Amino acid sequence: MTNNTLQSLNIVSKDQLAIFSNELTEELKNILNYWLNHTVDEVNGGFWGKIDNDNQVTPGAAKGSVLNARILWSFSAAYNQNPDEAYLQAAKRAYDYIKAHFVDDEFGGVYWSVGYKGDKLDTKKQVYANAFTIYALSEYYIASKSETVKEEAISLYHLLVDKSYDQDKTGYLEAFTRDWQPLGDLRLSAKDANEKKTMNTHLHVLEAYTNLYRIWPNDGLKQQIETLINNFFDHFIDAEAGHLVLFFDEDWNRRSDTVSYGHDIEATWLLLEAAETIGNHEMITRINGICIAIAEATIQGLDTDGGLWYEYEPAGDHLIKEKHWWVQAEAMVGFYNTWQVSSNDKYLQLALHNWAFVKDKILDKQNGEWFWGIKADGSIMPGEDKAGLWKCPYHNSRACIEIIKRIKILK
């Protein structure tokens, strides 16, 4: 937060920010109420693994560790901002289910998925999922004040460093078998490249470690965070294009030229948050400039309605004309953060315009929560989840929580 940002409030309407904060406060309640009212699995425990746009549950759907960790984080973070007992109880439900069904007591870490009754299903150790568990446990510690939870987060951190950190070339290898041996298929999802190091996993390992550092300011952890930020400086950020490179092999050879607009703008504020949390002022200064450069490159993916397109393939000059819910959530926070860094009102207006698009096209005003996304013609993307392995309350609740917090500081 700069003094210039505070001064710019003389120019930018304070009413805009007040309305923005009030609307996001209401939307956060709506999101959390949806998950409280529609996703709790009273039959088998925990939360349902899959719900469609009509709020119809798929009873036999698998339950994912990413979904459950993100539920744990969302309700913990919401409680830490607004101590509603219902939020704490939902967080406890998620925590208890993760402990009982996802944690591998024999080899450590969490499974990728379990069956609808909680039995082991896909037992691979995806670093991404384990990072989100650290992230969620760290937030739940703040809410629950349980030292056991804190120790579990620290233990999982040590496990990731021991099993997946590349001591020679730095960075984290993507995935392993249940007993942490090499794995042939490393992909997070079918759309991803089968490569050993990915920007997406590193970004969320960084986010997890940043949250852990808030409750455990350990020197070794700080060094890991600095190394991760340097991985972005040295490899993931294409300084010339202003975009992030998504996939690398083990030796940091580039394996992708796909532009992911949502990840670009998401990385800007998560990198800055990490540097600020550890108090590295040299990195903060460098990232401030990077934030603006990447935000400018992200603007290339904005449509006239304020929505941010999904991906662009430079080789074929192909724009994937879909507007996914999580991409919009990251655009809101990323452009708001760039306004704070730059004091340029343009970026605040981009955040507000994006929120207007979300209200118009992404919010499901009939059945609740956010649609997965819309197509170029404005129609809802068919066959996608309202809740599922990837459709979680994390991106949208986090956007609300983050911007509410930032606006409150300005008051």
Full 3-state SS string of 67-101: HHHHHHHHHHHHHHHCCCHHHHHHHHHHHHHHHHH
**Phi, psi at 257, each rounded to 5°:** -125, 10
Calpha distance 284→51 (Å, rounded): 41
Share of the chain above pLDDT 90, in %: 95
Among 187, 271, 258, smallest CA distance to 229 is for 271
Calpha distance 248→232 (Å, rounded): 12
Q: What per-residue confidence (pLDDT) applies to 191?
A: 87
Calpha distance 44→332 (Å, rounded): 36
Do the beta carbons of residue 268 and residue 338 sit within 8 Å?
Answer: yes
Mean pLDDT for 30-56 is 98
Q: Does 2 have pLDDT greater than 70? A: no
**Phi, psi at 56, each rounded to 5°:** -90, 125
Mean pLDDT for 43-66 is 98
Max alpha carbon distance in the chain (Å)? 59
- The residues with which 103 forms a beta bridge, in sequence order, are 110
Q: What per-residue confidence (pLDDT) applies to 1?
A: 47
Q: pLDDT tens-digit profile of 353-364? A: 999 999 999 999
Q: Does 49 have pLDDT greater than 50? A: yes
Average pLDDT over the chain reads 96
What's the pLDDT band for 170 if we cut at 50, 70, 90? very high
Do the beta carbons of residue 44 and residue 116 sit within 8 Å?
Answer: yes
Q: pLDDT tens-digit profile of 362-400? A: 999 999 999 999 999 999 999 999 999 999 999 999 999
Residues 6 or more apart whose CB falls under 8 angstroms from that of 171 comprise 165, 197, 202, 231, 235, 248, 252
If one counts every other C-beta atom within 10 angstroms of the C-beta of residue 190, the result is: 5
What's the pLDDT band for 9 if we cut at 50, 70, 90? low
Mean pLDDT for 82-94 is 98
Q: What per-residue confidence (pLDDT) applies to 234?
A: 98
Residue 383 region by backbone torsions, left for phi larger than 0, else alpha for psi between -120 and 50, else beta: left
Mean pLDDT for 77-90 is 98
Q: What per-residue confidence (pLDDT) applies to 119?
A: 98
Q: How far is CA 246 from CA 42, 178, 243, in A?
A: 39, 25, 9
Do the beta carbons of residue 245 and residue 288 sit within 8 Å?
Answer: no
Q: pLDDT tens-digit profile of 205-238? A: 999 999 999 999 999 999 999 999 999 999 999 9
Q: Does 333 have pLDDT greater than 90? A: yes
Q: What per-residue confidence (pLDDT) applies to 11?
A: 59
| Domains observed in the chain | 3-410 (1.50.10.10)
Do the beta carbons of residue 336 and residue 403 sit within 8 Å?
Answer: yes
Calpha distance 277→208 (Å, rounded): 12
